[in-house]
Structure 1
C-alpha cells in the first residue's frame, strides 16, 4: 500500500482529499513534518483560496523547499487547484503579484469570462498519451476557480521533454486544466470532488508511486 503525505499548510479541504486517497487504496498522513513529507511515496499539495495567502502558508512550513527537494530526487508530487497554481512563477490577483514556487514558467491570472467563478462540471481537452487520464479521457471533472494559467510558457528543447498539458474552457477562455511533468502532476479541477472519474485519476496517480 502506497503512503501519501497530504501537506497541511493551512489551505485546502484536507479531509475530502484524505478520504478520496484512502478510497483508492493509499495510506494518508496529514502533515507538514519534513521527515514524513520527504519519505512518503507521494506528496499531495491541496489549495483553496487566494494565491498570496496560500504561498504565505506554504513558506511558513517550508513547503516550497520540500516540494523542490522531492522533485530534485524524482519523488512524486501532485498539486490540486491552488496547489497547482502555486507551482507556476507567479499569481496576479486584484493587481497584486505574488511569487510562486517556480516549477513552471507562467502566470496565474483572472479568467476572461462574464460569469465567475467557473464552478461546476466541465470537459477536458486531454493531452495525447496522458497517464493521468488513462481510462477517463472523455469524463467531466469538477472545477471551482476564478483564476488560472491562460498561456503555457514552457518550451522544451532537444534535451528537455516538454510537459504534457491538458486544457479546458470556461465560456470562450481557454486555460490549463492539468499538467504531467515526470514526477510532478497537477490539476486545476478537484479530482476529490469529481466522483468516479476523479477517483480513477487519483488511482492512476497512486499506481505510479
Structure 2
C-alpha cells in the first residue's frame, strides 16, 4: 500500500487518481501507524512552506515523516512536498523544514515572470531508477520558490528557467519532484510509475 500523506495542504485528488491509474493500492491518510506500515509514501503539497510545516508539527506528522524516511522505505515529495524535504525556506520569513536533504528554498529573483508556470524540459544529471525507460522531456511546473542544493550529488534532474532550476532530487530512499508528475502527461506518469515500482523493493539507507 502507498500512503499519500494528508496534512490538509496537498493536491490529494490528482495524486491519488494517478496512483490508482497506475494500478497501485493507496490510502490518503494522516494516521501515523498506517503511514509507517506503508510500502511507500508520497508527500504532496500546495500552498506556503511555513503553513505546511505548522500543520505537520501540529499533527505530529513531522516526526512520522522523519521516522519513515529513516526506515529506508521510499518517500517522494511533490511540488511543495519536495521543498519541505529540505533544511529551510525563506518563503514569508525563515522556516525550518524536515531537513531530510540539505538545501535552502529561495524565491526566484530576476526580471522575469514569477511564478514559473508551464511546461519545461528536464535535463538528467545522473542515472536513477526514476529514469528507467525514459528520455528527457517536458513536465509541468507551477512554483515561485525553488531549491538551492548544498550537495550536487542530490541533483537528479534540472530544468532551465533563466538559469538552472532543481527539478528532481534523490538521496538513498528520499526523492522529490518540483513539478507535478500527475499533470505532466506520459513522461510524468512514467516517472511516478518508476517511483512506485521502488516501493515493491524498499531500499536500504546508507549508514
TM-score using structure 1 length: 0.90
- Using the alignment, how far apart are the partners of 1:91 and 1:98 within structure 2? 5
- Cα RMSD over matched residues? 1.3
- Alpha-carbon displacement from aligned partner over 1:149-183 (angstroms, at most 9, x marks no partner): 1x32127xxxxxx434311121x232211112111
Q: Confirm or deny that 1:111 pairs with 2:102.
A: no
Structure-to-structure mapping, 1:18-97, within 5 angstroms = 18-94=16-92, 96-97=93-94
- In structure 2, what is the equivalent of residue 179 of structure 1? 169
Q: Is the 8 A contact 1:92 1:108 kept in 2?
A: yes
Give structure 1 regions of 4+ aligned residues with deviation exceeding 6 angstroms: none
Report the 3-state secondary structure (helix = DSSP H, G, I; strand = E; otherwise coil) of the residue aligned with 2:134: coil
- Using the alignment, how far apart are the partners of 2:103 and 2:126 within structure 1? 22
Aligned-pair distance for 1:68? 1.3
- Using the alignment, how far apart are the partners of 1:122 and 1:52 within structure 2? 27
TM-score using structure 2 length: 0.91
Aligned-pair distance for 1:46? 0.3
- Using the alignment, how far apart are the partners of 1:134 and 1:116 within structure 2? 32
Q: Which runs of 5+ in 1 are unaligned?
A: 156-161
Q: Confirm or deny that 1:15 pairs with 2:13.
A: yes
Q: Which runs of 5+ in 2 are unaligned?
A: 200-207
- Using the alignment, how far apart are the partners of 2:55 and 2:89 within structure 1? 15
Q: Confirm or deny that 1:194 pairs with 2:192.
A: no
Report the number of matched residues: 198
Q: Is the 8 A contact 1:163 1:182 kept in 2?
A: no
- Using the alignment, how far apart are the partners of 1:140 and 1:71 within structure 2? 29
- In structure 1, what is the equivalent of residue 159 of structure 2? 168
- In structure 2, what is the equivalent of residue 158 of structure 1? none
